[in-house]
């Protein structure tokens, strides 16, 4: 039974990602599990060029996004390492759904564990649910961790 299970954990800065991380810690055996924490930065061109007439310094915004992403994956990786898991982290840029599916195929992952969405309001409505798309197209099983209603 010496096979290692490879779990891909796509995260954003939502409570859904925190719940997904906690679910992995509760369910998986650290000694038999290899984790990869993935954060996807959506390219900014998706948001248009001029914000309310201001010229936006995209390079500064990019650097800030990358710094936030680094901090996010580092924190999540530390939580998992503290629980005994082997962890690698990766930050990719692109369409979130496609990057998650492609990463799972390339690595290759045995399981993707993720929250139900993590996007806010209208944006989520327009983009459709990332987790639904991943569940439909992933090359492996997908566990969507829901947060119980209080």
3-state class of 55 per DSSP? strand
Determine the Cα–Cα distance for residues 64 and 68; give it in Å rounded to an integer: 6
Instruction: Report d(CA 14, CA 19) in Å as an integer.
Output: 9
For the segment 22-41, the average pLDDT, to the nearest whole number, is 96
Instruction: Summarize pLDDT for 90-109 with one digit per residue, the tens.
Output: 999 999 999 999 999 999 99
- 150 or 114: whose pLDDT is higher? 114
pLDDT above 50 (res 46) = no
Superfamily of structural domain 5-144: HUPs (3.40.50.620)
Task: Give the mean pLDDT of the chain.
Answer: 87
Q: Does residue 128 carry a pLDDT above 60?
A: no
Cβ pair 102, 90 in contact under 8 A: no
Among candidate residues 46, 13, 38, the one with its CA nearest the CA of residue 91: 38
Q: How far apart are CA 109 and CA 6, in angstroms?
A: 5
CA distance 24 to 80: 9
């Amino acid at each position: 039974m010496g096979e290692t299970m490879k779990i891909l954990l796509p995260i954003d800065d939502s409570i859904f990602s925190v719940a997904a991380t906690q679910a992995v810690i509760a369910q998986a055996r650290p000694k038999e599990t290899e984790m990869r924490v993935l954060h996807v930065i959506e390219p900014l061109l998706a948001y248009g060029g001029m914000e309310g007439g201001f010229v936006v310094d995209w390079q500064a915004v990019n650097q800030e996004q990358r710094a936030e992403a680094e901090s996010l994956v580092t924190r999540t990786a530390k939580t998992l390492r503290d629980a005994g898991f082997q962890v690698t982290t990766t930050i990719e840029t692109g369409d979130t759904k496609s990057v998650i599916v492609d990463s799972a195929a390339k690595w290759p992952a045995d399981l993707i564990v993720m929250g139900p969405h993590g996007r806010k309001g209208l944006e989520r409505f327009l983009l459709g649910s990332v987790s639904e798309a991943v569940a439909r197209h992933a090359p492996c099983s997908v566990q969507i961790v829901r947060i119980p209603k209080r």
